[in-house]
A and B are shown apart, each in its own frame.
Chain A
Amino acid sequence: MAPAKEQNQKAFRLKRRNWGMAVDEDRCTGCEACVVACHAENNIATVGEEQAARGRAMHWIRIERYYEGTFPDIKVKYQPVLCQQCDNAPCEAVCPTYASYHNAEGLNAQIYNRCIGTRYCANACPYEDRYFNFVNPAWDEPLNLQLNPDVSVRSVGIMEKCTFCIQRIRAAEINAEKEKRQLKDGEFNPACVQSCPTEALVFGDLDDPESRVSRLAKSNRAAKLLPDLGTKPKVTYLRRGSWYDEQNT
């Protein structure tokens, strides 16, 4: 009995994925649905006015806004910035306790109970997308009831960051493994991607040439943030398009 069962388990192996994201700046309208969806999914604490004024607000995904020109010839660009899940991540090399490490699927994971709060990783991150808990997060009762049981609540002195909603990745993998099938493209999405009304955010497997995200990563509009640092980010940005008439002239 036992060997047969073992064999059965061996016969099916879930494909290892290389999760990545594409951010289409041409679709993004700066609506910030992703920002709040992320707060709700990942138990990110609101820090209040006093702490926010000291630069301690935590938003794993944020919309950056860039102005160009002066009134009235003014142009604005929105750029959603989240952890770039670098393949050559500066945050990982500096962590003395291996709290910040590279997991098997290539994600920059953060192990909260290893973290001792040196904040070296936040200093090293060129995208400024690591957030430190300067105060113990608190939820006025009964706001604590909104907390997602799948995501651990961080405490004071801990660094936290975007995980690509690893709890959703794990849940989907466990499900697929149970059903002995491979994950389909777009079967599940991180919270920000799921709520994005314009579909500016696309998530998927970069190693699968057929996935939406890997096709977008090959687009002629594709670019990376701060590529010359050699961090090899897994988030691709798609430049804003120009109007077809402008292209023709």
Chain B
Amino acid sequence: MDRRTFLKLSSLGGATAALSACDKSGKLRGQMIRFIPEERLVPGVAIWKTSLCRQCCSGCGLEVRVMEGEAVVTRHGQRGLMQMGLAKKLEGNPEHPVNRGKLCARGHAGLQVTYNPDRIRFPLRRTGPRGSGQYRQVGWDEAVTELSTRLGSISSQGKAGSVAFLTRALRDQRGVLVQRFLAAYGAPPAVRFEFFDDAVLRRANYLSFGRYQLPTFDLARANYVISFGADFLSTWNSVVAQNRGYGAMRQGRPGLRGKFVQVEARMSPTGANADEWVYAKPGSEGLLAVSLAQVMLSERLRPAEAAREAGARIEGWTQGLSDYSPEKVQDQTGVAAARIRRLARELAAHRPAVAIVAGVPLAQTNGLANALAVNALNALLDAVENPGGIFFTPRPPLAYLPSVEESSSAKSLAERILNNPVPIEALLVYEANPVFASPATWHVRETLEKIPFIASFGSFIDETSILADLILPDHSHLESWVDHVPESGSTTAVASVAAPAMLPLHHTRAMPDVLLDVAHRLGPKLDPVESALPWKSYQEMLQSAFEPLRNHAGSVKAQKADDFWSQVQQNGGWWSEQSDPPPKAPATAERSATVVKVAQPELDGDARDYPFNFLPYASQQFGDGSHANLPWMQEMPDVISTAMWSTWVEINPRTAERLSIRQGDLVEVRSQHGTLQAPALLAPGIAPDVVAMPVGQGHEQYGRYASGRGANPIKILCARVEPETGALAWAATRVNIRRVGTRGKLVLFGGALRESPRNYRYR
């Protein structure tokens, strides 16, 4: 810098301050235009708005703390400053039946979705080759016109059936809207894809109890909880609701403390809480459950009839399950016969007792049998729809109800997109990332690359949306109308709804409104569209969906339609007063004919070449990987390993010693389908013949915080499935490991702290 420029700069007055406030485009903050505020708030005074969490499928109610602030926003394609209400903190909605004012770590981090620096700020049109990430900004009108023209021309060619909509399980009116749009257009129903999709358990619950639904656990009133592989306090199902119940089960009743037993091969954050942690070979959990039932039957602790239909699904139930005596299964499960007997006696003696199953036992080739075995155990313990047992959340009497998916993600993705004999002409993607969350052997990326037109509603560039030709970015959940019908987590019917908690920051548009816009543009071409989608906006649709609730006894009593609607929004939803159990599906011939033999799983890979069973698991920070772009989640230490910003391979210390692997060494994990490298973490709570890895890192494309960090264990999985549901058996892969270097990137929070329990002594 010469003297002249120095003087010039310093004469600007506070030049350094101004420079640091530079916008990305190089514009000084002070030079930016100021928009007229769209709302007025008192500075420094917080207001609270109800909203809903969309970080997972639980559907917890939120209260958003909104305060006035100054934000750089995009309006009419121009960036400028605006005084506006900004979400500052998320709390649980104290009235909401699912979470009762509580919120989990991932829910809190939902704030960073809205404010994420990598959010797509305006519609994008691809300019470079596919996957290059080269896009140009387009206006909304141009983007919507392109989408509707594409869809219009495909339909006039008579190929409407070759349009696919790929999304996750949508338990809200978005699901209904997408379904109606596709039906009116003439396309098949949406393909729902999630890596951890619970299809096996839903199928089992249908066969055992007549319900295609995940269960709700009444832990608060249970005296004994036995969980088979379910990480229900950290990642699985309605986590906040289950944590609330668990706390009450432990210390909520004076003089009565429930016992918790966890059965698994790798100690999960949930299993770490157990009074008794039981190691069982992965996939043999069903055998253990049936053996527990066998003891109860043979010792006449419980009547065989108690299990009703659920028992009839297990081969040999009426004969007293003599093939499954503890002595016969102890070698297969790895649990000693005496221990099985003791656990069975404890379970029978300390009712209400409840059994939970999820995770690894269901992600096996024998997953359905494992689930049915645990269901039968629950029925035998009289835990179904009884206090301290399992319940099924009733469905609210909304005008339209989102359907619950009956097919597994793997099956629908394979049948409808990957192996579809009719080539897909256009693909619409919303909140799904199958390119990241699928084994390499599925070749999802290669298949998607062949599709002539892909449009994404994503807020971020991820592995799937980078293939899109057109990106129509959605609002964040705090900026849009949100609604939800929880599948589980409550014993009363719940229909949540909330208005936007804040104005949109960027030039984005809500997916349902874009879809309605497209439908109206296609209108004359597609006659049924108008009749199926009569609403002008998503808000209007929600109001008409909630209208019938006014005539039902519930949390909102207002008589007038407008009062009712505003009060429902204020409360964050509507919930029924009493808990009628939902009607059961009628017993069909197909259901009563299903009888399974509980046996050992089949694993992929020869035990000599691949001696370790490889168990990927949902990570506490990232779930299935969709939260890896949030810095709070990256820096939150994993509770078991205390790792931040990392991936790791969990290895038993004795195994590691045998293979000369030390903590932090770089380890190669090799399956028949691929290899990956990650640092070793010596974990005392994992079986010597098992290695485990968290899912969530290893993104190639997912913003600045997640891209190029760690490895993705999903990629090396085998393509084996549970045969009846077609669900991916993600725990059925065998691998080998070897040390390849000394310097793996493993950042531990706990390393610097005093880790020995001796340092923290009690009085």
Chain A complexes with chain B: yes
Q: Is the CB of A76 within 8 A of B760?
A: no
Cα(A65)–Cα(B271), bound, Å: 13
Chain A residues whose CB sits within 8 angstroms of the CB of B117 once the complex forms: 140-143
Which residues of A are found within 8 Å of B69, using beta-carbon distances? Answer: 145, 149
Question: What distance in Å separates the Cβ of A43 from its nearest Cβ neighbour in chain B?
Answer: 10
Q: How far is the CA of A200 from the CA of B252 in the complex (A)?
A: 11
A66, chain B: closest CB distance, angstroms: 4
B247 CB contact (under 8 Å) in A35, A128, A199, A245: A199
CA of A185 to CA of B762, assembled, Å:
28
Closest to B502 in A: A145
Stretch at the interface among A6-14, A21-29, A89-97, A106-114: A21-29
Q: Does A157 contact B (CB under 8 A)?
A: no
Given A30-B269, A37-B108, A148-B89, the answer on whether A198 and B763 have CB atoms closer than 8 Å is no
CB-CB contacts below 8 Å: B235-261 with A: 239-240, 243-244, 246-247, 250-251, 255-257, 259
Number of interface residues of A (CB under 8 A): 73
Known: A24-B251, A65-B642, A140-B117. Is A32-B636 also a contact (CB below 8 A)?
A: yes
Across the interface, name the chain B residue whose C-beta is closest to A75. Answer: B277
B233 touching A71, Cβ below 8 Å: no
B86 within 8 Å of A by Cβ? yes
Q: Please measure, in the bound complex, the distance between the C-alpha atom of A78 and the C-alpha atom of B640, giving whole angstroms.
A: 9
**In whole angstroms, how far apart are the Cα atoms of A199 and B644 in the complex?**
26
Most buried by A among B109, B247, B745, B761: B247
CB A22 to nearest CB in B, in angstroms, measures 11
Q: Is the CB of A74 within 8 A of B277?
A: yes
- Determine the chain A residues whose CB is within 8 A of the CB of B244 once the complex forms: 197-199
CB neighbours (8 Å) of B239 from chain A are 31, 197
* A37-B103, A71-B685, A74-B685 known; A27 vs B251 contact (CB < 8 Å): yes
Q: Can you name the residue of chain A whose Cβ is closest to the Cβ of B88?
A: A148
B240 A197 Cβ-Cβ under 8 A: yes
Are B247 and A198 in contact, with the CB atoms below 8 A?
yes
Min distance, Cβ A160 to any Cβ of chain B, angstroms: 15
Q: Which residues of B contact A140 (CB under 8 A)?
A: 117, 704
**A46 close to B632 (CB less than 8 A):** yes
Complex CA gap A114/B417 in Å reads 63
CA–CA, A193 and B275, complex, Å: 25
The B32-86 residues at the A interface (CB cut-off 8 A) are: 44, 67, 69, 71-72, 86
Q: Is the CB of B99 within 8 A of A197?
A: yes
Q: Contact: A146 with B257, CB < 8 Å?
A: no
Which of B287-295, B570-578, B749-757 is the interface stretch?
B749-757
Instruction: Tell which of A24, A78, A149, A191 touches B273, judged by Cβ atoms closer than 8 Å.
Output: A78
Chain A interfacial positions (CB closer than 8 Å to B): 24, 26-27, 29-33, 35-37, 39-41, 46-49, 52-53, 55, 57, 59, 62-72, 74-79, 128, 140-149, 191, 194-200, 223-228, 237-239, 241-245
24 contacts between A and B (CB under 8 A): A24-B250, A27-B250, A31-B233, A31-B234, A33-B103, A36-B106, A36-B636, A47-B635, A49-B645, A62-B637, A71-B685, A72-B278, A141-B72, A145-B86, A146-B88, A197-B99, A197-B243, A199-B247, A224-B762, A241-B250, A242-B257, A243-B257, A244-B256, A245-B350
